Chain A
Amino acid sequence: MSLPFLLEIGTEEVPDWMIIPALNNLQDMFQALLDQHALGGRVSAVDATPRRLVLRAEGLLDRQADVEELVMGPSKSAGAGAAAGFAKKMGTTADQLSTHSTAKGEYFAFSKRTPGQATAAVLARELPNLILKIQWPKTMVWNGKGTERFIRPIRWLVALLGDAVVPFEIGGVKSGNATVGHRVLGKPSIPVTIENFGEQLKTNGVILSAAERRDKIESGIQELLAGKPLRIKPDPDLLHTLVYITEFPTPILGSFDPSYLSLPQEVLVTVMRHHQKYLSVEDADGKLAPHFIAVMNTNADPDGLVRQGNERVLRARFNDARFFWDVDQKKKLEDRVEDLKTVTFQAKLGSYYEKTNRVIDLVKQNGGSERAARLCKCDLTTDMVKEFTDLQGIVGGLYARAQGESEEVARAIYDHYKPLSMEDEIPSTEGGKLLSLADKWDTLVECFNVGMIPTGSRDPFGLRRAAQGLVRIIVEGKVRFDFPGLSPELSEFLRDRVEYYFRDVRGFAYDELRACLAAGWNDLLDLEARLLRVKAIRTTPDFEPLAASFKRIKNILKQASFLNSNELDVNLIEAGPEQDLYFETRRTRGEPLESRIGPLRPKIDLFFDKVLVNAPDSKVRLNRLTLLQGLLAEFSEIADFSEIVTERQS
């Protein structure tokens, strides 16, 4: 018999961003449970709202199959007494035993049958542990010290196998067949079956399917904007959040006084997006319009109260922003530098005042302007940034412009936290790039100096992001920036980021990357140029055999523990393949790699074919090693070709 299964874990509101990883984790663990206990069946669906995680499975057996195994007993020669003892241990009588012949002789054996357990019993036993094992970033207790932990309190549990409840209990909550509806639109206790579960939820104000909630939001927005010259600013992340903080989402269109449009668009959008979770609306020209979309967690706004409420909250927020702007202008950025002494950069690393001075030095050393560096952190003391921390840098740039700083300085300050992610743009001006680099470089060096080194998933200071930004600005922004005096830890850390960037973001093959990194990576632009060359050469027919030869050369030198201390002695070179190789190397020296590999390849092949490197005469031997070493060294300025994975490994 094949049975469907339904599990609903009912909780108080779970943070939106944790839901999908938890659902995936639940799905994997439940499938593993079915497999491990041979219960048959596959997980067919998982879905969630902020208040429930739901899993469905199909095709479960109603009980495990019986298991039969042959248990070997004592040797037949041990006699009837031993047989009786063995039979007793097996819970049977001696006449039920069989005999089994093996290489060592005849043995008693018993065919033991273990009856399968009812699936419901296995699930009832295993589910509490499984549910409590779901991984969350941060858990809590709600029943008191030392009790079960979960992301938020578990308030109800639905567990049905076919028509029957799978009985278990977590923290005083017993599983049953009753779900809970929307806090306002639904009933608090609704008996369900596996078949009518989704439907019952819907009549009680809960759309279980995230995809359906998303559709409802998107089509709702289309209706709201139909016939108006308006569209929403696309924002997939915010949409995702809205899908997972609602059980019954309904969008509404609100408006604000167009006079607020005189505030910078960055400020308006940040207030709407980060503080209010509103989608911004723009007109046909892409200009911000005095409207917003809010998504309610209910079905309607019959009296317009929700719209009015949201409009008033937004008005207060915008008034705050305007107030902050006006108050902040009373003290120029220039006059705030001293105030940075009271702003902590990091407890062990002192204030932003000290950081500012270090950044100024770095920028000056690299030929940049001091002014932007001097002012770049001053916005941390403004009311605007204290309230809207996401706008750090941006506000500084806007204030700099408003206070008559040059466009170059304003732009550099505006951009100096960029890029904030792999998708974010790098700073748009040379001044901005250099300032951003100097700021990130200082953060990295200082943090590593006091041992704040990211480990595993712990990176509280965002050093990976800083390093990644650094790499992108140098490479994509074509900035010359040598890494001065790297500590071994920071060197390893940066190298990881460089590798990640070129491999995962730029798509270079791992061996090309290793090969080029081995020839140095202090100058990332040079590294990029070499990578591009190696990638291009790689497709030429002579390349792979040559790479294999280099591997061979390297091995030979390694085995000989060869340290190059000798000049090549031309007189010791034998006529024939050795001399041919030598002449060819000399003839093409200075030419680009691309034109050298073609003519060199046959000479190298022939050399290895005909010439004995380990010549009996030690002078000749050392000279040949020197020849090979020289060849290797010339090519190794571009890449260590022995790192290239070739078909023909030698």
Chain B
Amino acid sequence: MSTGLTFQETVLRLKQYWSERGCIIQEPYDVEVGAGTMAPETFLRVLGPEPYRVAYVQPSRRPADGRYGENPNRLYKHQQLQVILKPAPADVIDLYLGSLKAIGIDLAKHDIKFEEDNWEAPTLGAWGIGWQVMLDGMEISQFTYFQQCGGFDLDLVPAELTYGLERIVAFLQNVDSVYDITWAQRFRYSDVRLKDEQQFSKYNFELADIGMLWQLFDLHEKECQRLIKLTGVVLPAYDQVLKCSHIFNLLDSRGAISVTERVGVIGRVRRLALGVADAWMKEIAPKTEAVA
């Protein structure tokens, strides 16, 4: 089947749909992240008692998943559309199904299933309960009720909806390779992104300077530790966590992290993330409580 929607039209329709349902439409975060969850619009905003609704496309970098542009379904960087509804409304699944209709999926002609798939990110001290959403046998979304983030039980339970855009659009356009997706009239996905995949695969697997990466890791870690102790700079501190996390991923794809080191490095990133979450919670706590 083909809905005739281009990649960007699909994205625009989803943004429009969630905009109409009270979401802030954010732009992607401009520091490298491995998933939309890591952007501060999710990681920090889900903490605390304030309701929030946001949607954004987040290019997500996973250096080890790169395949030099040769694999039709694997990408070093893919685009996730991330939606946070905090708190999750009782009709959240119906809202989600409505978004599928908005991009031209007639549910009466398809098979949709919600299959158990819980989510856990130990480095973020975060986990949730949920499903992978299967459309005609293909996973098109992750649906998660966040339970904990940054080591804190969440005051309000947010629903996180993550759409794997390349997969969904490849499916809707009936193409076997993501590179054959029509991104815009007259432009294919490969026109836009193939060089990206080829060059970064080469860099991530072969060229990234390991010594430099370790140095950068140490520097960003120190900067984060310094900032956490100050007041009013939680967001800059969190950027340092993201830097460390991405550098860890790069070191990993370079095969530079031995087994014994691995646990330790993950622990370092985790401590930073938990520290930032803690600082954020203190910052957003009602002032009267802070005084008392």
Contact = CB atoms under 8 A, between A and B. Distances in A.
B259 A350 contact: yes
Interface string B244-269: 00000000000101111011000000
B111 A306 contact: yes
Contacts, number: 121
B14 to A, nearest CB: 20
A13 B153 CA distance: 23
Given A302-B109, A309-B135, A316-B72, A144 B155 contact: yes
A604 B112 CA distance: 77
A476 interface: no
A152 B129 contact: yes
Most B CB within 10 A of own CB, among A306, A315, A339, A351? A306
B118 A142 contact: no
Interface residues of A, number: 51
A257 to B, nearest CB: 12
Interface string B149-174: 00001111100000000000001001
A296 interface: yes
- Nearest first, the 4 A-B pairs at minimum CB distance are A309-B136, A15-B116, A13-B114, A296-B111
A351 B258 contact: yes
Interface stretch (A225-233, A341-349, A447-455): A341-349
Contact of A183 (B70, B112, B129, B155): B112
Given A13-B131, A140-B145, A341 B111 contact: no
Contacts of B259: 341-345, 350-351
15 contacts: A15-B116, A140-B147, A142-B157, A183-B97, A184-B108, A245-B115, A296-B111, A298-B111, A301-B109, A302-B109, A309-B111, A313-B137, A320-B71, A342-B255, A344-B259
Contacts of B70: 323
Contacts of A183: 93, 97, 107, 112
A306 B171 CA distance: 12
Nearest to A14: B116
Interface in A278-328: 278, 294, 296-298, 301-303, 305-306, 308-310, 312-316, 319-320, 323
Interface of B: 1, 70-74, 87-88, 90, 93, 97, 107-116, 118, 129, 131, 135-138, 145, 147, 153-157, 171, 174, 176, 255, 257-260, 262-263
B71 A347 contact: no
Contacts of B131: 13
A138 interface: yes
Contacts of A222: none
Nearest to B72: A319
A350 B260 contact: yes
A561 B204 CA distance: 75
Contact of A305 (B73, B136, B262): B136
Contacts of B113: 13, 245-246, 297
A312 B71 contact: no
A153 B144 CA distance: 12
Nearest to B136: A309
Contacts of B90: 153, 155, 172
Nearest to A241: B115
Nearest to A349: B259
A350 B1 CA distance: 50
A142 B137 contact: no
Contacts of B135: 309
B73 A320 contact: yes
Contact of B176 (A153, A297, A312): A312
A294 to B, nearest CB: 6
